[in-house]
Structure 1
């Protein structure tokens, strides 16, 4: 290119020279030479710029190819990331589902019961006179379902439902009656359990009984789920529980009785090793506050009452001291336990003692295991707050005494067959309104239990 431009320039210059060489002066020739040199410099400059442009063009082309390659790579990476993200989202969803499922546990049981009751208590029927109580036969069911959730590392929440009959706080049974009527399924548990330290926890809400009961003691009915707050501790061989429960919440004008009826209690105990065996000792105190002079809250269950207008009201407070013991060992390869429970109400000076003792041999829990148990109990009329005592022994009334005999067999795990026979006396010390004392009360229960 440079040579062509130069040749053209020289040809032009020579043509100009040939036409005017005869007349040109030396000055004119010098000017022509200067013009030729300037032209040559311009041609060199243009050639240099052209070379630079070519180089830049090649660089731009290379850069464009590189950018194109990067673009293709990034598109491929984006497609891969989208696919990986989608897979990870599925895995995260699975993980979250598994994590949720791992935090929730469902437990429950269903019991079918055949029951026979023989009660020698008389009734005064108008126009007829004293009439004995007829023997009773009935079939009953109880179903319970509880969800326990690990809400945080140290807080557990429990929500439980149970069948119920007449809002009885001591029973989840439903009798089979009323032409296949629907049966209520009510709230039985709703609590949090905060493990605030390695040695202690705080429970709040409607809860399982947090204190220790010896053996098969019937001073508390097993179906009762108290409501309020409980503070528990466990440190080595020592344990304890303090609780504050609400029985009745009152409201009203200033001239009405508005104190809430509460149940305050404290239990302290220890488990002592005795060779390969264990001895449990516990002291328990509870106080029923703001109850004297009030109508029984569900039923008096034979505690002493006075007449106030047309109502029957409680005569005594219940400031109960309860001492318990349980010895657990092995006879051969089978578990064996002996237990005792003693209580005294500090308010009345008479009919204020309760005691119970029993043995249990074997443990019906795993495949083809069995147990046999026997216990004797005596609860005087005002020894315990009778709305808390077992509802089956003597029909759930205080002023009772007698035996309870048990047998159970587990043919397969989670399925147990139970037989319980109550051989009791009602009004053991104090006559009822018809003057009866030492009234026979027998009760047979045969249970089909399934747990899950």
Structure 2
């Protein structure tokens, strides 16, 4: 049965705008016109047979075409072509034999703006749809709307990210600071230094404590690639800048005669998520623990393996439990040690075994509380005095040289590692003493951290951070009565020191307040923060803590003030002022100002 369908006009919006948004080719409109002409002609014959009146068979098509021109779908030229074709089809139809009349069911327009459109058979509509689809796909390919199967499948599973930081730094030293502090890290890196003064050597390497440094321009550049290998299995690689292989900094100073800058492998890992609540990762990767820069520098990457879990409590959906277990090799002993002996020393790998357990509670829409306790067990870090070492007989090393850390900053209590035998052919006290230095303690850390996010006046985000750390292995008496006694952390700069001058401790803590958006993303976001830090000499390993506060290491206390503002999406400027001084020992005040421009993608 052929029927008429009523289209609501809807003015210049609604259906008209929908039609204008569709790209319909001339060929498609021609097909539509032919279909409508055929339908109109059939209806015209039926009406004429039923009523005995003659109406122009092409009138409905012409009205429809004129309406499409009026709505902006067709140009006048295309409309004229379609009208000509409709008239020709109508003339051919009039010459055909009339069919028996068929009852009509018509729905006349009932409202101003309604349009009567003849019914189009399903088969014709399917043909029009298929033709439109083919032409749209062809046009999309031609105009680069979509290119199916143009790229291999692996491209869709690759993600590239990175960031760049430009920094101008100023280091300020108090004129009252002590001078001549030995740089023990540099001593170890040069393979030892003769402190006897009988080898014609100059003074040992020392730390700058009095000369300000201004406009230290630097960059930090990082570029990473993450690939989804299979469902639940991914891998990642990141390259980063850096002056050297320092584990706590990717800063690269500019200058140096415009020489090329270094690029290091900063991350390389494989991650596997067998279930929604468990993730396993191995290689070199970001810090997997919930912690601050009190214990670990933000740039520190971990080598080893870790398992992270996170699971919401079924009885309290607002509470989520999380935790981490990990094993991390910190330093391997030299497998060819000692090099001048056929008998090699056994392995004495320094390890970090760590575990953390915590919970996050979403109290309401504006309050969130997150806390965790952790245990970090650094094994085999403590150095020991070697067996008698006759370097004068040609030995190139002593039995405990492997106890010297690969990397140190400053602050931890140190001991001499070599028990050097005097040369009997020399006067007493004149035998060279090229020494290496190791740590006086093991470091088994208990750490507790708490973070509260809320809003101030229901408008400004506010974050409160607190952390406490305690080295459970710290024992000053143990260090003082060991075969090798401490060589630093005395309350005087004099060379004549006694046990009563030794000062150290195993505690540290931090408080921080951040007002504004903690992590800037959108343009116009900002934050302001102020923090206080207190870190006794042997609270944590000085190698891995914040490299900016007091210019790295432990035995420091003071405050940090910072502000950030997002100048564009994922781009922000920041300023930080870090003021720190010694906890124990002779005066050492160091202030640092950092001005930065950051961008990420």
Q: TM-score range by the shorter chain?
A: 0.7 to 0.9
Q: 1:328 aligns with which of 429, 432, 453?
A: 453
Q: 1:395 aligns with which of 544, 551, 568?
A: 551
Corresponding residue of 2:386: none
User: Is 2:345 the counterpart of 1:345?
Assistant: no
Corresponding residue of 1:238: 321
- Give the distance between the partners of 1:96 and 1:176, measured in 2 at CA: 42
Q: 1:369-448 alignment to 2 at 5 Å?
A: 369-425=525-581, 427-429=582-584, 431=585, 436-437=586-587, 439-448=588-597
What TM-score, normalized to structure 2?
0.56
- Give the distance between the partners of 2:349 and 2:555, measured in 1 at CA: 28
Query: Following TM superposition, by how much is the alpha carbon of 1:219 offset from its aligned partner in structure 2, in angstroms?
Result: 2.2
Gaps of 5+ in 1: 1-86, 88-92
- Post-superposition Cα deviations, 1:239-260, rounded to whole Å, max 9, x if no partner, equal 0000101111232476524121
Q: CA RMSD in A?
A: 2.3
Corresponding residue of 1:123: 179
Corresponding residue of 1:226: 302
User: Is 2:158 the counterpart of 1:104?
Assistant: yes
Give the direction of change, closer, same or farther, for the CA distance of 1:132–1:389 in structure 2 (3 Å limit). Answer: closer
- Give the distance between the partners of 2:149 and 2:546, measured in 1 at CA: 46
- Give the distance between the partners of 2:253 and 2:207, measured in 1 at CA: 28
- Post-superposition Cα deviations, 1:24-58, rounded to whole Å, max 9, x if no partner, equal xxxxxxxxxxxxxxxxxxxxxxxxxxxxxxxxxxx
User: Is 2:410 the counterpart of 1:301?
Assistant: yes
Gaps of 5+ in 2: 1-140, 142-146, 182-201, 313-319, 338-342, 384-402, 419-434, 477-504
- Give the distance between the partners of 1:411 and 1:131, measured in 2 at CA: 36
User: Residues 376 and 401 of structure 1 are in contact (CA less than 8 Å); yes or no, is this contact kept in structure 2?
Assistant: yes
- Give the distance between the partners of 2:440 and 2:252, measured in 1 at CA: 33
Tell which deviates more after alignment, 329-338 or 280-289: 329-338
What TM-score, normalized to structure 1?
0.74
- Give the distance between the partners of 2:222 and 2:252, measured in 1 at CA: 12
User: Residues 424 and 440 of structure 1 are in contact (CA less than 8 Å); yes or no, is this contact kept in structure 2?
Assistant: yes
User: Residues 271 and 279 of structure 1 are in contact (CA less than 8 Å); yes or no, is this contact kept in structure 2?
Assistant: yes
User: Residues 287 and 319 of structure 1 are in contact (CA less than 8 Å); yes or no, is this contact kept in structure 2?
Assistant: yes
Aligned to 1:354, what secondary structure does the other structure show? strand
- Post-superposition Cα deviations, 1:328-348, rounded to whole Å, max 9, x if no partner, equal 112233321101000000111
Query: Following TM superposition, by how much is the alpha carbon of 1:130 offset from its aligned partner in structure 2, in angstroms?
Result: 12
- Give the distance between the partners of 2:467 and 2:562, measured in 1 at CA: 18
- Give the distance between the partners of 1:347 and 1:105, measured in 2 at CA: 44
Corresponding residue of 1:269: 358
Aligned to 2:230, what secondary structure does the other structure show? coil
User: Is 2:599 the counterpart of 1:450?
Assistant: yes
User: Residues 122 and 131 of structure 1 are in contact (CA less than 8 Å); yes or no, is this contact kept in structure 2?
Assistant: no
Query: Following TM superposition, by how much is the alpha carbon of 1:218 offset from its aligned partner in structure 2, in angstroms?
Result: 3.4
Runs (4 or more) in structure 1 with deviation over 6 Å come to: none
Q: 1:201-220 alignment to 2 at 5 Å?
A: 201-213=279-291, 217-220=293-296
Q: 1:68-147 alignment to 2 at 5 Å?
A: 95=149, 97=151, 99-120=153-174, 121-124=177-180, 133-137=210-214, 138-147=216-225
Q: 1:153-302 alignment to 2 at 5 Å?
A: 153-213=231-291, 217-236=293-312, 237-250=320-333, 251-252=335-336, 256-276=345-365, 277-293=367-383, 294-302=403-411
Give the direction of change, closer, same or farther, for the CA distance of 1:131–1:319 in structure 2 (3 Å limit). Answer: closer
User: Residues 508 and 539 of structure 2 are in contact (CA less than 8 Å); yes or no, is this contact kept in structure 1?
Assistant: yes
Tell which deviates more after alignment, 331-340 or 415-424: 331-340
When the two structures are aligned, how many residues end up with a matched partner?
Answer: 352
Query: Following TM superposition, by how much is the alpha carbon of 1:158 offset from its aligned partner in structure 2, in angstroms?
Result: 0.7
Corresponding residue of 1:368: 524
User: Residues 560 and 577 of structure 2 are in contact (CA less than 8 Å); yes or no, is this contact kept in structure 1?
Assistant: yes
Q: Which has the higher strand share?
A: 1
Query: Following TM superposition, by how much is the alpha carbon of 1:223 offset from its aligned partner in structure 2, in angstroms?
Result: 0.7
